[in-house]
Amino acid sequence: MTAHAQELRQIAQKMVATGKGILAADESSGTIKKRFDSINTESSEQNRRDYREFLFRTTHAMKNHISGVILFDETLRQKAADGTSLCQVICDTGAIPGIKVDTGAKDLADSPGEKITEGLDGLRERFAEYHELGARFAKWRAVINIGPGIPTQHCLNANAHALARYAALAQEAGIVPIVEPEVIMDGDHDIDRCFDVTSAALKALFNALEEQNVMLEGVILKPNMVLSGSTCAVQASDEEIAEKTIQCFKENVPSAIPGIVFLSGGQSDKQATSRLNAMNKIADLPWKLSFSYGRALQAAPLKAWCGKVENVNSAQSAFAHRARMNGLAACGNWESSMETSS
């Protein structure tokens, strides 16, 4: 660990640079197919490559608002149309390439409705290869569902343990781990229930990270915001979401963590931006607060592109706009009027 400690700290700090956030472009083959189906475009390897390449070549947005890009295994190995590796295309903008390493959430044994994320087998060897290919950070997502009698402490502990084992292996390889304990927003629970479950998930996570001797200064946290369930009759305001999320994190996240990059988790583009902005207007935060959005950055450019080369410029403009809006929100400088004026 000591051989990589300073490098890990530097990478983590760069990942949460002021006004920048992370583009989550790590959709699995199945997920990207669903996205492409929605725009009547075949999910071929070339189309996937072309789509991601034009995002990464949106130079102004990448240089000014994106600190890193999470990639799927296929993308990390792909080359752009001119023969340059997509990893290098990202590096040329000043952003850092990262890699999704978990193999997905599966049913947790004897725990109906609960999930455990797999992918630890052979991870040390995969990390060595990913580092050679250019990845300098990684991501592992745990899925925490809210429902009658769940999540159980068993589920929280099992996922926290897996996250911590992954994080330790990542740091051993000189790779900064993003730890993502996502409390899913599906359900009719209220915001206070989400607060309690998110608190419990974070407590379990940081206990496990301590047990595994993970260096917190070289870790980035990617959590959910504290929200009302998607079908709850009473939806909390952006201000209440911001206040409860900050309260939850101040109570449960050590100040040694350099930054928190929120997932969008089914929120609309503007909701994800507005709520991040509201949080960054709250003073005296011990960590940077930014974004690690997938759909909330990509939905607009995907719709503009529709798989047609003649639409690439429009799609890049849509991506640049969303990246800029979230970059402003990461500084608490976004205003809703900016959505129609740029």
Residues 6+ apart with CB under 8 A from 196: none
* Predicted pLDDT at 342: 46
Whole-angstrom CA distances from 288 to 107, 137, 165, 260, 271 are 34, 17, 25, 6, 19
pLDDT in tens, 226-251: 999 999 999 999 999 999 999 999 99
Q: Does the pLDDT value for residue 1 go beyond 90?
A: no
Q: Annotated catalytic, 222?
A: yes
Answer yes or no: is pLDDT of 80 > 80: yes
Tell me the residue range of the domain where 66 lies: 5-341
CATH number at residue 313: 3.20.20.70
Q: Which listed residue (100, 115, 222, 244) is catalytic? A: 222
pTM over 0.85: yes
- Mean pLDDT of the 71-84 span: 96
Tens-digit pLDDT profile for residues 283-341: 899 999 999 999 999 999 999 999 999 999 999 999 999 999 999 999 999 999 999 65
Per-residue pLDDT of 87-99, as tens digits, reads 999 999 999 999 9
* Rounded Cα gap, residues 216 and 206, in angstroms: 9
Residue 155: per-residue pLDDT: 98
* Sole residue written with tokens 């799927």: 72
Q: What mean pLDDT value characterizes the chain?
A: 96
* Residue 4 pLDDT level (bands cut at 50, 70, 90): confident
180 in active site: yes
- Residue 58 predicted with pLDDT over 80: yes
Which one of 27, 53, 114, 180 is the catalytic residue?
Answer: 180
What is the total count of domains within the chain? 1
- The dihedral sign for the CA sequence 169, 144, 22, 32: positive
